[in-house]
Structure 1
Amino acid sequence: MEMKNRAFYCAIFALLSGCLVFAGDIIHQDDFAPARPGCNNNFVLVKVPVWINGKEVAEFVGVGARFGPTLESKEKRANLTRVALADPPDCCSKPKNKITGEVMLAHRGNCSFVTKADMAEAAGASALLIINNRTELFKMVCKANETDVNVHIPVVMLSLDVDATLIQSTRDNSNVSIQLYSPKRPAVDVAEVFLWLMAVGTILCASYWSTWTAKEAAIEQEKLLKDGSDEYLSKETYSSTGVMEINIASAILFVVIASMFLIMLYKLMSHVFIEILVVVFCIGGMEGLQTCLVALLSRWFERAAGSYIKVPFLGAIAYLTLAVSPSCIAFAVLWAVFRRVSFAWIGQDILGIALIITVLQVIRVPNLKVGTVLLSCAFLYDIFWVFVSKWWFHESIMIVVARGDGSGEDGIPMLLKIPRMFDPWGGYSIIGFGDVILPGLVIAFALRYDWLSKKSLKDGYFLWAMIAYGLGLLTTYVALNLMDGHGQPALLYIVPFTLGTFIALAKKRGDLNHLWNRGDPGRVCPHVQLQPDDR
């Protein structure tokens, strides 16, 4: 299979992970009710360290209710309090057992959250823990008819996962105690800054490499013309460079196939299936890393890059490629084997960036019309699978796939990720490959157009498209922080910024018709650069 065909399929897999989230802190909302006095707390994550017989054995994460007092933010100020089981377990009526300041542990169901809190408080509990009936966290709100809410004890929901540790240990008459505190998350984490620089820098490198390749092709074709070669055909020469142009039909098909793959991932999500994705990612990342290294080293080792050897089953391979390949294969294999260690994200990002740059080099949009169709379809795709899919599947398909729920893994590997360095909650800031590749195709086209049209950086379109992309990604981070860590479809913000700026600027300068229909001058005659009067 040719590299450009592999890049096409890798790009489809990349589009699957098109949302930006804080890994590990997504909270699903169970109900909706307007905030009102007594029921207007901000939803916060709560740390719940568990102590059994004086020894800390686990730490769980819960979510605070809309009602009740706020929790301490410092662990050292949080009291260590014994746990008592509610009797009845749902705490929907006055508990039969005597409570003297313990934290009451109850199950969800049969009555409202406020009713449970009132019963626990009346019985003398110092706090109420509610165990959900699913392995997820839900926001506890007040019902519409609960207008006079006056709860004076903290109420925290925990997932079903805590059942075995807390309830069983308490039933065994062990001394089970907990702490409740809610560390404040920093408004901006360094990880977000580095992830932003990583995404912007990747597009920047890929765009200049794509333009450099177009320039090399233009020079080569100009030599053929000067030599009077009869073999020169612009279309054939252009396609011989290994570049694959997409058209409107393939742009739409691109998103349709990605949707089908996304559903398949959602339905078949398991540890085995993630392992298969890891293999696919390693193959794509290894080849991307090899392509990038060969392109960089060929400047210093021109002879090795231009000399070939025949390899059985593979055909003619450059000596430089043959020398680089073993190290790339070893790097990908080592990452796959040790991908669960704390620093494995570095290897994943290196392979991912190399794959993204290679895809942006191999796949190109020929004009603004195709770029607009591609980004518009991806814009709708992202919104549908992050938000609208909740209506049919009762959960966000994109977020479930990105997190790797039910697979026993930290998520699918088609992501750039950085650990949140100064966040007491830990986790990762991640961005899908699709949020870099798809806008990158249009931005790379802008730089190629600027060069072939002899436009300066200020008078061209690349600089402004690049700035717009950066602002769109920055807006995504702002929205992510404002939405309590809910996963956000990054293309919801990136596409209007990038595409809107590009089209508006082209319209203002009178270049829109040329960019929309003709596009890249190199497609028609790469050796001829457009002059101002050609437009």
Structure 2
Amino acid sequence: MELRSRALYCSFCAVAVLLCSSLVFAGDIVHQDDVAPKRPGCDNNFVLVKVPIWVDGEEITEFVGVGARFGLTLESKEKRANQIRVSLADPPDCCSVPKNKLTGEAILVHRGKCSFITKANVAEAAGASALLIINNQTELFKMVCEANETDVIVGIPVVMLPKDAGKSLKLSMSNSSNVSIQMYSPHRPLVDVAEVFLWLMAVGTILCASYWSAWSAREASIEQDKLLKDGSDEYLSKETHHSSGVVDINILSAICFIMIASCFLLMLYKFMSHLFIEILVVLFCIGGVEGLQTCLVALLSCFRWFEPAAECHVKVPFLGAVSYLTLAVSPLCISFAVLWAVYRGVSFAWIGQDILGIALIITVLQIIRVPNLKVGTVLLGCAFMYDIFWVFVSKWFFHKSVMIVVARGDGSGEDGIPMLLKIPRMFDPWGGYSIIGFGDIILPGLLVAFSLRYDWLCKKSLKAGYFLWAMLAYGLGLLVTYVALNLMDGHGQPALLYIVPFTLGTLITLGKTRGDLKHLWIRGEPDGRFCPHVRLHSDEKQPSKM
């Protein structure tokens, strides 16, 4: 068990630098721009625009563009959006009066030397009913009004399309003379069901992991107590504790964890590529296999039919003693991870990713433990600052949010990194996924699991203990994160920004109110066989080590 747990811990360390990439994100949304303030005639909100392409009366494809700060507001319903015939501009940049006549057509232009407002005014004066501007890059660009422009009242809709969409549209126009488009901007639902399921998934994962961790700690305490009663020495009790495969983190390792995570995150931002994603997929599969295997063995061991296979062991090179049950489930776990890695591009691959991710998270929370509130405070405090810096402050140094860029997998050709739980947005016309980083579950989960271990070993009731309130605080903190996500129009939010104050603040405040803060802060778990409170009441003659 020790060697196997150490192997899992090593695989966890390999991906741990990404587990802190805490982020709740919901698709690519165009956001407000405070740099270019609104003014009359130039006060539209930036919205994504769907642009279906019709060739000879048949819809062949659909592109996504972005509406300008100026111009006519687009319809939100597809059935209300009229089909408009598309015509190429002559000259292509539409910086001067077009040579071709426009009679209610949508004009397709390129970015040139003149401003967007100039293009829009020229196109409207020529009789165009809409203006499609092809960007010179694959990304979309926010079209705003220049500070020195006065004639910003535009009566036609203005939409920008990415470069590849422009090429495809021009190719269709060269092959057919009857090409038309629709333009509409559907509203996103205030709350998507995916966010509800993701919240339940995160809370349920911590709940299961906490009870498993507390049960293991109680069983180890009972076993240690039996050995002491049988006359075993202190060395034997220590060996029993270490052989359980549990790893207690300390303050130094907590700080190093955040520093290493920062370095690795920056490296991913600078050198993000398809190769990097492939490496992360391999690491994720290794950790997922270990986690799924550990969870299945623990679950099957609860049934008497599998007890003999779980108790009988065989020596395996480099791994030591491994149970027959572990050998039986390992091929299934490996096959599952390999299938997910091969077919991770299909629409339902998120299910396999979530299964592997949840199994890994539960196993990590069972093996990696916070020994006291002091270590938990340092770990979550550093993670709190880490989140704020790499999501918000990093924009000042790198012109982009490093955390969001890495989480989305920009420049890799993949749909984000695998160290995320994700669910497709079910009722969102824009599609996409609601995601949550492993760090949003593992880091606060370490503290929540610690609170339940403390309650069980101290024989505290659910109401008088700390676990119930820590669990409620986590759920509320994650809920506030989703509220902030919707208020910020889908802009990625660092979940630990909200979760850490709720969970850590609740435990510290409650511990101080009840007079347990010193025990929680320094000792954490009971010293020896009894909780400090039990010892004080059961043996008043024995002085406390407090």
Query: In the TM superposition, what are the counterparts of 1:122-521 in structure 2 within 5 Å?
Result: 122-146=125-149, 149-170=152-173, 174-230=177-233, 232=235, 234-300=237-303, 301-521=306-526
Aligned residues: percent identity?
76
d(CA) in 1 for partners of 2:83, 2:406: 37
Which residue of the partner structure matches residue 88 of structure 1?
91
d(CA) in 2 for partners of 1:43, 1:526: 62
Which residue of the partner structure matches residue 43 of structure 1?
46
Which residue of the partner structure matches residue 23 of structure 2?
19
Which residue of the partner structure matches residue 540 of structure 2?
none
d(CA) in 1 for partners of 2:508, 2:175: 68
Q: Is the 8 A contact 2:192 2:425 kept in 1?
A: yes
AA of the residue aligned to 2:95 = C
d(CA) in 2 for partners of 1:509, 1:91: 72
SS in 1 for 2:109: strand
Deviation at 1:296, TM superposition (A): 1.1
Of residues 143-152 and 380-389 in structure 1, the stretch that sits farther from structure 2 once superposed is 143-152
Q: Is the 8 A contact 1:7 1:363 kept in 2?
A: no
Deviation at 1:435, TM superposition (A): 0.8
Which residue of the partner structure matches residue 541 of structure 2?
none
SS in 2 for 1:371: helix
SS in 1 for 2:533: coil
Q: Is the 8 A contact 1:310 1:316 kept in 2?
A: yes
Of residues 86-95 and 328-337 in structure 1, the stretch that sits farther from structure 2 once superposed is 86-95
Deviation at 1:152, TM superposition (A): 1.6
| Equivalent residue pairs, number | 531
Which TM-score applies when normalising by structure 2?
0.92
d(CA) in 2 for partners of 1:376, 1:109: 49
Of residues 325-334 and 35-44 in structure 1, the stretch that sits farther from structure 2 once superposed is 35-44
Q: Is the 8 A contact 1:183 1:424 kept in 2?
A: yes
Deviation at 1:103, TM superposition (A): 1.1
Which residue of the partner structure matches residue 117 of structure 1?
120
SS in 2 for 1:340: coil
SS in 2 for 1:317: strand
2:74 pairs with one of 71, 81, 102 = 71
Q: Is the 8 A contact 1:367 1:520 kept in 2?
A: yes
Deviation at 1:147, TM superposition (A): 6.1
d(CA) in 2 for partners of 1:243, 1:452: 16
AA of the residue aligned to 2:124 = E
CA distance 1:4–1:106, change in 2 (3 Å): same
Deviation at 1:232, TM superposition (A): 4.1
Q: Is the 8 A contact 1:30 1:138 kept in 2?
A: no
Deviation at 1:173, TM superposition (A): 6.3
d(CA) in 2 for partners of 1:88, 1:31: 33
Q: Is the 8 A contact 1:30 1:140 kept in 2?
A: no
SS in 2 for 1:51: strand
Deviation string for 1:316-350 (max 9, x for gaps)?
Answer: 21111111111111111111122111111111100
Deviation string for 1:406-426 (max 9, x for gaps)?
Answer: 222111111101111111111
d(CA) in 2 for partners of 1:514, 1:316: 38
CA distance 1:108–1:509, change in 2 (3 Å): farther
CA distance 1:503–1:143, change in 2 (3 Å): farther
d(CA) in 2 for partners of 1:385, 1:240: 38
Q: Is the 8 A contact 2:17 2:265 kept in 1?
A: no
Deviation at 1:439, TM superposition (A): 0.8
Q: Is the 8 A contact 1:244 1:363 kept in 2?
A: yes
d(CA) in 1 for partners of 2:97, 2:489: 34
Deviation at 1:161, TM superposition (A): 2.2
Q: Is the 8 A contact 1:62 1:158 kept in 2?
A: yes
SS in 2 for 1:138: coil
d(CA) in 2 for partners of 1:293, 1:459: 33
Deviation at 1:246, TM superposition (A): 1.0
SS in 2 for 1:418: strand
Deviation string for 1:140-184 (max 9, x for gaps)?
Answer: 333344466322211112222212112344356643211101112
CA distance 1:466–1:110, change in 2 (3 Å): farther
d(CA) in 2 for partners of 1:118, 1:233: 85
Whether 1:34 and 2:63 are equivalent positions in the alignment is no
The runs of 5 or more residues in structure 1 that have no matched partner are: none
Deviation at 1:505, TM superposition (A): 1.8
CA distance 1:146–1:457, change in 2 (3 Å): farther
CA distance 1:468–1:334, change in 2 (3 Å): same
AA of the residue aligned to 2:181 = I
AA of the residue aligned to 1:215 = R
Deviation string for 1:220-270 (max 9, x for gaps)?
Answer: 000011101125455443222111111111111101111121122223322
Q: Is the 8 A contact 1:234 1:526 kept in 2?
A: no
d(CA) in 1 for partners of 2:123, 2:396: 34
Of residues 219-228 and 48-57 in structure 1, the stretch that sits farther from structure 2 once superposed is 48-57
SS in 2 for 1:465: helix
d(CA) in 2 for partners of 1:488, 1:134: 27
d(CA) in 1 for partners of 2:449, 2:139: 41
Deviation at 1:126, TM superposition (A): 0.9
1:58 pairs with one of 53, 57, 61 = 61
